[in-house]
């Protein structure tokens, strides 16, 4: 079964004290789509400018990603530039050029409108709504978000929560949304806003799922060296959504799907942009999943 | 098999926006000893003043704690007083009266000198050394610590690390000791300082063990409401040390022992001081251990 993924498709220029990485392939849809592609066929919805490097289109294709829903518009691709400090915890944005992304309206090809699994990766909630408006017969719809939308588009986001099956956010966003410091108290409040499944991401501390079968404490894969931690939420949720799509009933499979997402995110953190993720094979993922089984057994 | 536990025995006065709790039973040895007592016979080493309430001695005895090594000296019991803000993350110390603790020199009764399992709970490293100096034929010695000793007694602590089997500290202390932000990189550096087992506590995010069988990611029991989070490190390590003592080879059992410690710590967080911990039975602990199995299975 396919996964439809909508989100941002961007070029990221990332500076660290040791290196400059100009115009890497980035954006929530790119990360999520490549991650999901290890498990399922992926249909990506997004927009790029006519400056978008051909090698990145080839990269998508190498991962079997269906690009019928990727618009190529005259103008510049969304470009973000940021600089990291030595310890990687502090990052500052140097530049944000929205380019063709500013007027993006996702259009779904007819072939895409009945895709059962839908990932609304991080993007304005109004665009997430717009994608759902075009769809029928979905089986499992999950949305990701970021603090920006809590700040400037909360009513849209709250409306969205009534329309989706699963919602993913990080711990500080969960606190912002519910005013609860405690993750488990926050989960309870978020369920009341609509979604049956809620996942709170805690970075290197793993993530927590709350769903019909209760709580699941999902570990992060232990990494001794993190190269680029930002945006690891997108491959996590991409891997998760690819995985149950390939494996049947969500309720039964979502825990193992989270573990797979967590592992794909761990590879992502080991390189800049998609550098590491695009160099792994499914066998590397399966190996780390097995390791996580051992690392958590008692 | 018995566990010998040395540490502080104190009276804690804890103020919150909702309540005042004067002169609760506290201190690292009290917390660790009560936690360990659910699993093993405990011999406690400490000092209290002649103002120490009889009901607290009775409490120790109800938990079967051997008090032959508890000195009762003329003077005041160590008294700490602190105040919490609404969200419980911010605490300020109002008062610290060392009392008889200031001149504490732990003396081990002859019957205690060959106890196989030894927990050097949080106390000055010089006193932890002094206890080890009196012992022979130990099987498994674990030390806890706090940032204070890293600041004012680092040489003593570094010497101690060469003499113990296991070392327990929290993530910020691990960072302070190794200058490593990454927990797994820090673990590697701490092993080089001596201990075969290193456990890094991460509060509500659980803890990480590094030992001869590799890494273990230990979850915290999910609590929707935390009453008093401070000092939960002592019941964690107390429960851990009580548990393998009761169950044979450390290498094989330490993971399940950590889970038991984690569960005892969760009960501790649900009440002020030892209020909640002293009201539970072994069956309550076993129930939460079973739940943790379910909460982490994938």
pLDDT in tens, A267-295: 999 999 999 999 999 999 999 999 999 99
Question: Best mutation site among A217, A224, A262 for testing chain B: the one with the most B CBs within 10 Å?
Answer: A217
Residues of B in contact with A223 (CB under 8 A): 182, 184
pLDDT value for A190:
98
pLDDT, one tens digit per residue, over A31-72 is: 999 999 999 999 999 999 999 999 999 999 999 999 999 999
pLDDT value for B92:
86
The alpha carbon of B171 is separated from its chain's Cα centroid by a whole number of angstroms, namely 16
Residues of A in contact with B184 (CB under 8 A): 222-224
Q: Would you call A252 exposed, middle or buried from its count of C-beta atoms within 10 A (0-12, 13-18, 19+)? A: exposed
Q: Low-confidence residues of chain B, pLDDT below 50?
A: none
Interface A:B, Cβ pairs < 8 A: 79
Least Cα distance to A191 among A204, A203, A208 occurs for A208
Least Cα distance to B44 among B88, B107, B102 occurs for B107
- CB–CB of B172/B150 below 8 Å? no
With CA atoms as reference, the chain A residue closest to B86 would be: A181
pLDDT value for B16:
82
Please judge whether A181 and B258 are an interchain contact, meaning their C-beta atoms are less than 8 angstroms apart: no
With CA atoms as reference, the chain A residue closest to B211 would be: A295
B80: distance to nearest CA of chain A, Å? 26
Least Cα distance to B39 among B219, B268, B261 occurs for B261
Please judge whether A294 and B256 are an interchain contact, meaning their C-beta atoms are less than 8 angstroms apart: no
Please judge whether A223 and B184 are an interchain contact, meaning their C-beta atoms are less than 8 angstroms apart: yes
pLDDT value for A52:
98
Which residues are within 8 A (CB) of A36 and not within 5 positions of it... i.e. 6 or more apart? A3, A5, A42, A119, A238, A239, A241, A242, A243, A245
Please judge whether B182 and A294 are an interchain contact, meaning their C-beta atoms are less than 8 angstroms apart: no
pLDDT value for A247:
73
The answer to whether A296 faces chain B, any CB pair under 8 Å, is yes
Distance (Å, whole) CA B180 – CA A190: 35
B151: distance to nearest CA of chain A, Å? 23
Please judge whether A183 and B204 are an interchain contact, meaning their C-beta atoms are less than 8 angstroms apart: yes
pLDDT value for A76:
97
Question: Best mutation site among B175, B210, B217, B229 for testing chain A: the one with the most A CBs within 10 Å?
Answer: B217
- CB–CB of A243/A253 below 8 Å? yes
Q: Which of B216, B225, B298 sits opposite A182 (nearest CB)?
A: B225
pLDDT value for B226:
86
The answer to whether B205 faces chain A, any CB pair under 8 Å, is yes
Q: Both ends of chain B: CA-CA distance in Å?
A: 35
The answer to whether B297 faces chain A, any CB pair under 8 Å, is yes
Least Cα distance to A115 among A142, A144, A137 occurs for A137
With CA atoms as reference, the chain B residue closest to A179 would be: B87
Distance (Å, whole) CA B240 – CA B35: 8
The answer to whether A297 faces chain B, any CB pair under 8 Å, is yes
pLDDT value for B209:
98
Please judge whether A182 and B218 are an interchain contact, meaning their C-beta atoms are less than 8 angstroms apart: no
The answer to whether B276 faces chain A, any CB pair under 8 Å, is no
Handedness of CA A261, A262, A266, A269 (dihedral sign): positive
The answer to whether B55 faces chain A, any CB pair under 8 Å, is no
Please judge whether A185 and B224 are an interchain contact, meaning their C-beta atoms are less than 8 angstroms apart: yes
Q: Low-confidence residues of chain A, pLDDT below 50?
A: none
pLDDT value for A97:
94
Q: What is the DSSP letter of A213?
A: T
């Amino acid at each position: 079964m396919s996964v439809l993924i909508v989100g941002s498709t961007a070029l990221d220029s990332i500076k660290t004290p040791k290196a400059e990485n100009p115009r890497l392939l980035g954006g929530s849809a790119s990360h999520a789509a490549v991650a999901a592609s290890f498990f399922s066929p992926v249909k990506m919805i997004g927009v790029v400018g006519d400056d978008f490097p051909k090698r990145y289109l080839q990269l998508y294709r190498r991962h079997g990603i269906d690009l019928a829903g990727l618009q190529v518009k005259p103008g510049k691709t969304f470009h973000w530039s940021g600089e990291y400090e030595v310890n990687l915890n502090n990052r500052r944005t140097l530049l944000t050029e929205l380019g063709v992304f500013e007027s993006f309206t996702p259009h779904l090809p007819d072939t895409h409108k009945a895709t059962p699994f839908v990932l609304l990766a991080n993007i304005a909630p109004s665009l997430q709504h717009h994608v759902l408006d075009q769809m029928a017969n979905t089986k499992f719809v999950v949305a990701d978000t970021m603090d920006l939308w809590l700040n400037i588009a909360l009513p849209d986001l709250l409306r969205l929560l009534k329309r989706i099956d699963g919602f993913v956010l990080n711990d500080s966003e969960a606190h912002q949304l519910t005013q609860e410091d405690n993750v488990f108290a926050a989960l309870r409040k978020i369920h009341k806003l609509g979604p049956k499944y809620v996942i709170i991401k805690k970075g290197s501390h793993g993530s927590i799922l709350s769903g019909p079968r209760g709580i699941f404490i999902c570990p992060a894969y232990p990494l001794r060296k993190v190269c680029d931690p930002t945006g690891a939420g997108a491959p996590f949720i991409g891997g998760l959504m690819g995985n149950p799509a390939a494996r049947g009933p969500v309720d039964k499979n979502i825990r193992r799907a989270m573990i797979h997402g967590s592992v794909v995110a761990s590879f992502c953190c080991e390189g800049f942009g998609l550098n590491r993720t695009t160099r792994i094979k499914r066998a590397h993922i399966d190996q780390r999943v097995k390791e996580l089984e051992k690392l958590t057994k008692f």
